Structure 1
Amino acid sequence: MKIVLLIAWLLGIPLSSHAQKINTMKNSTEETAIRTALEQYYFKGIFEGNTTLLKEVFFKDALLFGDIKGVAYYKTAEQYIEGVGNRVSPEKAGAPFHPEIISIDVINSIASVKLNVKMYDYNYYNFITFHKINGKWLIVNKTLTDVE
């Protein structure tokens, strides 16, 4: 009986490690898609002040919350994108813009991303939630804070 259990246990190891590789490969593909959305739409949109790019990556009903210099911040995606379009972009101002992806965690059709975005005199930390909707990763929530 012990031998049968030992054999069953040994046979189970390769199967579970194979399943782990499949999940890792799938998450790697999704992580790459999210990274592309961040770099080609979110970061580029902010840097250039390009509202068309931002509308491509934000879910229309997304909400943004946080604090900037200690002041509470709340906007809808529409208000946020409009604000980006109405300000002088870092690109046009020749201002520093240094975005960094700190982490991306993906589970099924949701993902949580932690970013550090340094621009103008701000040092933002963002926590962004993505949801894969109709095959496309969209920002459904953004929280942010500015740190000294």
Structure 2
Amino acid sequence: MKVLIVMAWLFIVPINSYAQKINVMKTDKTEETAIKNVIEQLYFKGIYEGNTELLKEIFHKDALLFGDIKGVPYYKTAAQYIEGVGSRVSPEKSGKDFKPTIISIDVINTIATAKLNVKMYDFNYYNFITFHKIDGKWLIVNKTLTDVEP
């Protein structure tokens, strides 16, 4: 009788009732579209036009940029980067080709990454950009970049 009760109890009580709960990561297509829009309307447009106000809208004030250009290490704060964009001749004014491409966007909850290819001047940049949704806005919190031969 005791064996039957124990066996019945084992079948009634779910085995995984004490298992750790794991949060499921969410990828939201609406947020992916929002990030695509800020990349195109603020980041790409800001770089192309040399529009520092657009870039200030998308970069978190404490964002950092790391990478290499033509094999030379590169490091700047967001403020230094934006100042540099504002002081150079923009691709728009130079008349040179500007071909930006979004390769991929991955979103999980309030963080996201984007892989971009930006061909401008004589450079073929690959950017890996990290976003964080802060106060309802997607902001760049980190940018890594490298220049590769076309």
TM-score (norm. length: structure 2): 0.82
Q: Percent identity, please.
A: 79
> How far apart are the structure 2 equivalents of 1:80 and 1:38?
16
The alignment of Structure 1 onto Structure 2 pairs a total of residues equal to 126
Residue 136 of structure 1 aligns with an amino acid whose one-letter code is K
Q: Does 1:132 align with 2:129?
A: no
> How far apart are the structure 2 equivalents of 1:85 and 1:112?
25
1:104 counterpart residue number: 105
Unaligned runs of 5+ in 2: 1-23
> How far apart are the structure 2 equivalents of 1:94 and 1:52?
21
1:6-55 per-residue CA deviation (whole Å, 9 max, x = no partner) reads xxxxxxxxxxxxxx9xx55xx10000100011000000000000000000
Which 4+ runs in 1 deviate beyond 6 A? none
> In proportion to residue count, which structure has more helix?
1
Unaligned runs of 5+ in 1: 1-19
1:144 counterpart residue number: 145
> How far apart are the structure 1 equivalents of 2:116 and 2:94?
22
1:6 counterpart residue number: none
1:77-111 per-residue CA deviation (whole Å, 9 max, x = no partner) reads 00000000000000001010000000000000000
Alignment of 1:45-56 (within 5 A): 45-56=46-57
Measured after TM superposition, the shift of residue 123 of structure 1 is: 0.1
Measured after TM superposition, the shift of residue 122 of structure 1 is: 0.1
> How far apart are the structure 1 equivalents of 2:67 and 2:37?
25
> How far apart are the structure 2 equivalents of 1:39 and 1:121?
21
Larger radius of gyration: 2
> How far apart are the structure 2 equivalents of 1:96 and 1:55?
24
TM-score (norm. length: structure 1): 0.83
